[in-house]
Structure 1
């Protein structure tokens, strides 16, 4: 081959082709993730800029209410409280308190994320004042739930320890009839009696390093190709030099 200077060597080629495929695939995946992240950021910015509105009755298009300021009225089912493993906005370890909310402004239920508590406040007896009873209004941000990732542990239901918000499972455990929308309503920073849980934990800042990751993977693919070509050219030069030496050594002397 003219580009390589010689025929491709077996083992370098066997190594290079799969490695090149992997590097290009990873780079392409990061490009896809980049566009997904940009779309998410646009959705969040547009939703957060919209005025607060009453959450409609289910069923409704959850995507159109993703990261929207909402208002819901009803009552908490404090007997069924779920603890989602999480860090506070300051990075402290603890839980998000997820509570079923029986709506009075529309038929059905929704899961409200009341906010963050430290590990020492997991038992309700330690924050009895914050267990709001009766009719109340929640101002917050609605957003879609997320599914478990490949490395996410299985929710430990007997210990009431959740690693991702499985709304359907929570609804079953709470004995709720009917479908609960696959979203959470994150309560805002409105003060809670006793101070716990602490609302306003919605995260709307998303790191976006996918472009640099894509450049890294594609750059690795280019470097690998460069090394492959240079190695073969050097090999071709060495073979040509060896052939020339052999020809010179075999030439009869006058």
Structure 2
């Protein structure tokens, strides 16, 4: 091998030992993204804890009258859902709607009944749960109060369109969510509040629907997610350091541009001396 070929070979070997710069840029971008995702999960955790605290305060506060009709356009989940409220009026039992439900009592239906207030406005009340064998209203007449009643419960925002992978079908009277506007249209109701009330257990009467089954649950796994993103960023940063920075701590061997030739050639005369000199051959 010639001296020029040897030098080129060594240079190529040194270049191959160093990964391309674009890989470093890509890795740094990924690390920044993972750290950002971890920080976002920390923010989400703070938001979720504040939400849980806010809902707990609403649920356990004394019952207050529902918002007035003038305030209905401003009712929202963030500001009003799960408020402990009260409302009085008369039920329109002939306009009730059944929405499919699965509760701790098993599968069945929510019984949604309009309540007409003294001012003529209507509020949809989820009176509670009935099993499938009591779907027919004739099986629970003694549980349907006929006079003036006062209902306490939790204010809930409407659930439009339907449930998971199931759309409401009003024309066939199939309901998978408590869509206030669609139910009001299907039952020919006017001046209906844009929310409904989940009645509590104290509102139950006779063999009527079982109230007080509202499930309030807010999964809070954001800390686990944040730690996962941060751990991935740390591992990727470690890999990046080993790949691009590990050589800084390795002993570098001296390199010579002179070729070591086998004995017998015209160029086999030693070009240098020392412990690492090439073979010295006699010219022929």
1:73 to 68, 80, 88: 88
The residue that corresponds to 1:209 in the other structure is: 221
Show the 5 A alignment for 1:169-188.
169-181=182-194, 183-188=195-200
Q: What TM-score do you get using the length of structure 1 for normalisation?
A: 0.74
- The number of residue pairs the alignment matches comes to 241
The residue that corresponds to 2:44 in the other structure is: 33
Secondary structure of 1:204's aligned partner: coil
Please tell me whether the aligned partners of residues 8 and 232 of structure 1 are also in contact (alpha carbons under 8 angstroms): no
C-alpha RMSD of matched pairs (Å): 3.7
Q: Give me the whole-angstrom Cα distance separating, in 1, the residues matched to 2:206 and 2:186.
A: 27
The residue that corresponds to 2:109 in the other structure is: 95
Aligned-residue offset at 1:65: 4.0
Aligned-residue offset at 1:217: 2.7
The residue that corresponds to 1:221 in the other structure is: 233
Show the 5 A alignment for 1:189-200.
189-190=201-202, 191-194=204-207, 196-200=208-212
1:117 to 120, 130, 153: 130
The residue that corresponds to 1:141 in the other structure is: 154
Q: Give me the whole-angstrom Cα distance separating, in 2, the residues matched to 1:184 and 1:114.
A: 10
Please tell me whether the aligned partners of residues 171 and 180 of structure 1 are also in contact (alpha carbons under 8 angstroms): no
Q: Map Cα deviations across residues 65-118 of structure 1 (whole Å, 9 max, x no partner).
A: 432222211122223333333332x262222222222112x4411111111122
Aligned-residue offset at 1:127: 2.6
Gaps of 5+ in 2: 1-16, 262-277, 280-284
After TM superposition, the structure 1 stretch with the greater mean CA deviation from structure 2, 67-76 or 122-131, is 122-131
Q: What TM-score do you get using the length of structure 2 for normalisation?
A: 0.67
Work out which of the two has the higher radius of gyration on C-alpha atoms and give 1 or 2. 2
